């Protein structure tokens, strides 16, 4: 499989993104096609095409960062009243970008989004 994904370019700074969080291991940025306002993607900086390739400790860190972003979305102007975490692993599950990523999807009453 071609290991290249647009997320590699975003991580390298070669493609633009609206970053909301970054540390040595993880980057979080706004989804280019948000399903609700404030939809964020949390990605490991080391490419892992699928869940099976992801170091579990790094997976834990993705979740930890997702938790912090979820809390921030509740306090921000997005005023999230709830949050969905979503991770698609594999084509059948709807994965389109083969670099593991956690969707953090803020919810507000009547936002019309259904998982």
| 3-state class (DSSP) for residue 63 | helix
Size of the site for ligand 5GP (CB under 6 A): 13
12 binds ligand 5GP (CB under 6 A): no
Q: CA–CA distance from 23 to each of 10, 45, 61, 84, 95 (Å)?
A: 14, 9, 11, 23, 25
**Does 101 participate in catalysis according to the annotation?**
yes
Query: Tokens in use for 34?
Result: 């948000």
31 binds ligand 5GP (CB under 6 A): yes
Nearest residue to ligand 5GP, using CB? 32
Count how many Cα atoms sit within 13 Å of the Cα of residue 54 in the half-sphere of its side chain: 23
Q: Interface residues for ligand 5GP in 76-95 (CB under 6 A)?
A: 88, 94-95
**Which residues in this chain contact ligand 5GP in the complex, by CB under 6 A?**
6, 17, 29-33, 41, 88, 94-97
> What residues are labeled active site?
101
């Amino acid at each position: 499989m071609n290991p290249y994904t647009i997320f590699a370019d975003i991580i390298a700074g070669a493609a633009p993104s609206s970053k909301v969080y970054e540390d040595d291991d993880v980057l979080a940025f706004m989804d280019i096609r948000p399903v609700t306002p404030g939809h964020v993607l949390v990605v490991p900086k080391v490419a892992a095409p699928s869940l099976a390739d992801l170091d579990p400790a790094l997976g834990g860190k993705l979740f930890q960062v997702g938790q912090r972003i979820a809390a921030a979305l509740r306090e921000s102007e997005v005023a999230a009243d709830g949050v969905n975490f979503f991770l698609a692993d594999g084509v059948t599950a709807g994965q389109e970008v083969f670099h593991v990523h956690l969707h953090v999807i803020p919810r507000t009453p009547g936002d019309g989004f259904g998982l």
